[in-house]
Amino acid sequence: MSNELMDSLARQAEAGGTLYDGRDMDDAVVAPARRRVRRAHTLRAAGTLGVTALVLAGGLTAVLEWQGGRGTVAPAVTNVPDVDPDALTADDLRARTTARTLDDGRTGQAGILCSMPVKDNPYAGSDFSRADDCPAMWVADQPLLEVTRADLTLDGDGTVHIAWELANTSDESITVDEGTLSIALTSAPDRVMDGEGYTAGDRQLIAPSLWTSAEERVVQMEGETSRVTLRPGDVLDGDATLDPQMFTGLGTEGLLTGISEGTVAPTVTLQVRVPPAGDPGTRELFLEDSAVVITTGTMDPVSASFEGLEPRLQGETRDDAQEALVCHVGEADNPRFAVEDGEDVPAWSTPTCEAVWIPGGKQLELTELTISQADEFSSELYWNAANVSGRELELDEASMAASIDLGDAGYIMNSGGVSVGWSPWDTDRTRKGALTSASSRAFLPAGAELTGSKTFERDPETKGADISILIRVVREDDEDGTRELLLELPWSMEG
Amino acid sequence: MGSRSDALRAVTRGHGVDLLARARLLTGDDAAAGLLVERALAQGTGRGHVAESPDDATAEVRRALHRAFRRSKEPEPPLVERPAAEGADAPGEPDLREALRLLSRRERVALVLRYVDGMAATAIAVELDVSVKAVLADLRSGASRLAAERPDLHVDVEDAVEGGVEEELTVAFGARR
């Protein structure tokens, strides 16, 4: 052990730490980093659009938290962005509340009142934001805040933009927490969710409805607190962008297609926290209002490669069809279309994709898959696949990825196109895929074989794992990065 | 943690000092350190799953910083003389940055993780997402070079290669603002 070296390094580092006080970290480092993050999520697919299954505490509703990052609710006060100490606060409004139910037929100002221990209150210093279902309330007999604009624009690749306005239509000033304003897009807002669940994250939520029972509604408690007073007539406005992948999650079935085809008229609900006069405590009040959106735009026609696909359930087997995944990520979140970052290292993402069957028999089948010890700390996964389709296949060899499903492993490690750990299945119809910035198109004649290998950190549990190899299909319209079609080649180590 | 901006904020508030110090230790230069931290923040909080806690986010950013530094191929800026009052080097001791500059980036980051964070080669390999073999080679060559250049530091090459703990430790520098 070299104590001298350790001491010397520590002194260097301590001296470096003093830099922090001598510069404006926010301006010099954090702001550019934030811009990089935003740029990454508008221009390229550096980030995975992971979807994590959560279960609401005490609730029956499954929920997916969308963890992509492109969308932003971006509220902006059009005037008077200050706080009036005499404006209404949660303390004033809570005293007026009465219980609200789905079918009570009343009108007025709708609200939601959540109760929680202070330590769990995201606005009282808890680092964890949350979505929860809380009792619905009537806060006033007349509306205080109303959605005065809700326009939805659908891009050809399935990206949804929503422009909204929320106005104080009452004759009283009210202080709201604009930094926590969240937006929800619902397809059947006037019924209780029937176990479909919802997809939420980054102050955006998609669901059939926000009602989890006739008395409780879902509310997101996220964002950075920022109080403003809305005087009578003041307006908050903003826009939100929902990535197409968000419409792969729970509670979103058919919504994107329905919007595109004009068969669904979704409702936008804006929810905003009303802060208390003093410090946050055990109760949080939210006001909400909804409006049916005006929609414009349609999705581009889907490539022929995606026609005729049939839904696939986890564990389902068929001999007359090929397992595959459709990853509807939108071009901005497709690594293949990422702007080169000069690092010369392929970027990978693990988006949530729909499990499908390609009818017409198997196309590519694994004939061999082995795991061997590469060295003391790592294993090598090797596979051999054969083209059994009876025709030539055009595939992207650089896209080959491996998913090693260890079940409830307690961890997931994604590295260089290998995913080891938790099951890739998010729901029984959706699972994680793998997309990369690298591409190498290759023709595989009928009967020809394809091999690949990946190295990963050793885990003894892989002996009994379910493994799948993924490979991207090269399409006639390969320059369209909206969707990707991956063949999934399953293999069980248990035989 | 709700969003990438939440993660970025939590990391910079809680660990900005450490990140900048660590980056300066690796780069030996203030401006390069700032750029490295900026890049690490963007990569660590902007890519992949949103971290579930501030600690997870910090670990991601720290990992991104080490990996970005190791991968970087940009030319390194010349070392700028530092005021002695900064106390980076003990009185009469040569500037450690000059010795570190003789090492490749790979060697430098491996030795920093080994001697600042006390990590063993296996843990460093996980941190850098490279093979253990590569880390062992970097530790050996880096320690040998440093031992030759700075005998006063009494660098033990075998200890560099074989020592350290296999679990990741978190070492932070400086005080929070």
For B92-133, write each residue's pLDDT tens digit: 778 888 999 999 999 999 999 998 888 888 889 888 877 788
SS3 A177: strand
Rounded CA-CA distance A185/A258 in Å is 13
B115 lies in the same domain as B54: no
B65 lies in the same domain as B109: no
B170 lies in the same domain as B104: yes
Give the sheet arrangement for strand A235-242, strand by strand. A75-77, A235-242, A160-168, A145-154, A294-296
Residues in B touching A52 (Cβ below 8 Å): 49
Within-domain flag for B89: no
The tokens describing A361, both together, are: 């028999």
Other beta carbons within 10 Å of A492: 12
With an 8 Å Cβ cutoff, are B48 and A47 in contact? yes
**What b/e sequence results for B116-140 when a residue is b if at least 16 CB atoms lie within 10 Å of its CB, and e otherwise?**
bbbbbbbbbbbbbebbbebbbbbbb
**Looking at this protein, which amino acid is placed at residue A445?**
P
Within-domain flag for B85: no
Rounded CA-CA distance A8/B164 in Å is 18
With an 8 Å Cβ cutoff, are B153 and A8 in contact? yes
The partner residue sitting opposite A47, judged by closest CB among B18, B34, B46, is B46
Rounded CA-CA distance B69/B33 in Å is 10
B116 lies in the same domain as B177: yes
- Residue B43 · residue B51 · CB < 8 Å: no
Hey, which residues 238-277 in chain A have their CB within 8 Å of chain B?
none
**Looking at this protein, which amino acid is placed at residue A172?**
E
Residues in A touching B89 (Cβ below 8 Å): 8, 11-12
How many CA atoms within 13 Å lie on the side-chain side of A185? 37
Note whether B85 contacts A: Cβ–Cβ < 8 A.
no
With an 8 Å Cβ cutoff, are B174 and A17 in contact? yes
The partner residue sitting opposite A2, judged by closest CB among B46, B132, B154, is B154
The partner residue sitting opposite B46, judged by closest CB among A12, A28, A40, is A40
Surface-to-core class of residue A319, CB atoms within 10 Å of its CB (0-12 exposed, 13-18 middle, 19+ buried):
exposed
With an 8 Å Cβ cutoff, are A5 and B97 in contact? no
Contacts of B170 (CB under 8 A, 6+ apart): B59, B117
Write down the pLDDT at residue A313: 94
Other beta carbons within 10 Å of A410: 8
Within-domain flag for B78: no
**Chain B residue at shortest CA distance from A127:** B1
Sorted by where each starts, the structural domains of chain A and their CATH numbers stand as 48-296 (2.60.40.10), 304-492 (no CATH)
User: Radius of gyration over alpha carbons of chain A, in Å?
Assistant: 25
With an 8 Å Cβ cutoff, are B71 and A2 in contact? no
Q: What is the pLDDT along chain A (495 residues), one digit of tens a residue?
A: 567 888 888 887 776 655 554 345 555 555 555 555 544 433 222 222 222 222 222 223 334 433 333 344 544 444 444 788 889 999 999 988 999 999 998 999 999 999 988 888 888 876 666 778 999 999 999 999 999 999 999 998 898 999 999 999 999 999 999 888 999 999 999 999 988 888 887 788 999 999 999 999 999 987 678 889 999 999 999 989 898 888 888 888 889 999 999 999 999 999 999 999 888 889 999 999 999 998 999 988 888 889 899 999 999 999 999 999 999 988 888 889 876 655 567 888 888 899 999 999 999 999 999 998 887 778 899 999 999 999 999 999 999 999 999 887 777 777 889 988 888 998 888 999 999 989 999 999 999 999 999 988 877 788 889 999 999 999 988 988 899 999 999 999 886
Note whether B129 contacts A: Cβ–Cβ < 8 A.
yes
- Residue B116 · residue A7 · CB < 8 Å: no
| A49 strand-pairing partners | none
Residues in A touching B112 (Cβ below 8 Å): 9
Residues in B touching A338 (Cβ below 8 Å): none
B58 lies in the same domain as B109: no
| A453 strand-pairing partners | A382
- Average pLDDT of each block of 10 consecutive residues along chain B (177 residues)? 62 78 89 84 66 76 88 81 70 84 92 90 85 86 92 90 68 39
pTM of the shown model: 0.58
The CATH number for B67's domain is 1.10.1740
Within-domain flag for B146: yes
With an 8 Å Cβ cutoff, are B163 and A52 in contact? no
Phi, psi of A38 (to 5 degrees): -60, -45
SS3 A115: strand
Note whether B5 contacts A: Cβ–Cβ < 8 A.
yes
Residues in B touching A122 (Cβ below 8 Å): 2
Within-domain flag for B49: yes
Phi, psi of B54 (to 5 degrees): -60, -35
B61 lies in the same domain as B125: no
Note whether B145 contacts A: Cβ–Cβ < 8 A.
no
With an 8 Å Cβ cutoff, are B89 and A129 in contact? no
The CATH number for B164's domain is 1.10.10.10
pLDDT > 90: percent of chain B: 18
B124 lies in the same domain as B169: yes
Report DSSP state, residue A132: E
Residues in A touching B105 (Cβ below 8 Å): none
**Looking at this protein, which amino acid is placed at residue B68?**
A
* Pairs of residues, one from chain A and one from chain B, whose beta carbons lie less than 8 Å apart: 211
Rounded CA-CA distance A385/A368 in Å is 7
Within-domain flag for B77: no
B103 lies in the same domain as B67: no
- Residue A302 · residue A244 · CB < 8 Å: no
B48 lies in the same domain as B104: no
Note whether B3 contacts A: Cβ–Cβ < 8 A.
yes
Residues in B touching A23 (Cβ below 8 Å): 34
- Residue B70 · residue B43 · CB < 8 Å: no
Note whether A177 contacts B: Cβ–Cβ < 8 A.
no
Note whether A343 contacts B: Cβ–Cβ < 8 A.
yes
Proportion of chain B in helix, strand, coil states, percent, rounded to 5: 65, 0, 35
**Chain A residue at shortest CA distance from B96:** A8
The partner residue sitting opposite A5, judged by closest CB among B12, B132, B155, is B155
- Residue B28 · residue B97 · CB < 8 Å: yes
Pairing outcome for strands A352-359 and A430-432: antiparallel
**What b/e sequence results for A24-42 when a residue is b if at least 16 CB atoms lie within 10 Å of its CB, and e otherwise?**
ebeebbbebbbebbbebbe
**Chain B residue at shortest CA distance from A131:** B2
Write down the pLDDT at residue A27: 54
> Which residue is it, tokens 């909204």?
A164
Surface-to-core class of residue A308, CB atoms within 10 Å of its CB (0-12 exposed, 13-18 middle, 19+ buried):
exposed
B68 lies in the same domain as B104: no
Pick from B91, B87, B115: nearest CA to B103: B115
Pick from A248, A429, A470, A433: nearest CA to A349: A433
Rounded CA-CA distance A369/A407 in Å is 19
| A62 strand-pairing partners | A55
B127 lies in the same domain as B54: no
Note whether A339 contacts B: Cβ–Cβ < 8 A.
no
Helices (H) and strands (E) in chain A, counts: 5, 32
Q: Give how far A361 is from chain B: nearest CA, Å.
A: 35
The tokens describing B152, both together, are: 């006063």
The tokens describing A85, both together, are: 């100490």
Contacts of A112 (CB under 8 A, 6+ apart): A134, A135, A136, A137, A217, A219, A271, A285, A286, A288
B65 lies in the same domain as B101: no
Within-domain flag for B87: no
The tokens describing B51, both together, are: 């971290």
Pick from A197, A216, A215: nearest CA to A207: A197
Give the H or E element holding residue A135. strand A130-140
**Looking at this protein, which amino acid is placed at residue A30?**
V
Where in the sequence is the domain holding B1, given as residue range(s)? 1-72
With an 8 Å Cβ cutoff, are B12 and A30 in contact? yes
Instruction: Tell me what ipTM this predicted complex has.
Output: 0.81
SS3 A446: coil
Rounded CA-CA distance A418/B106 in Å is 24
- Residue B8 · residue A2 · CB < 8 Å: no
Domain count, chain B: 2
Within-domain flag for B90: no
Q: Give how far A19 is from chain B: nearest CA, Å.
A: 7
Q: How far apart are the first and last CA of chain A?
A: 49
Residues in A touching B12 (Cβ below 8 Å): 25-26, 29-30
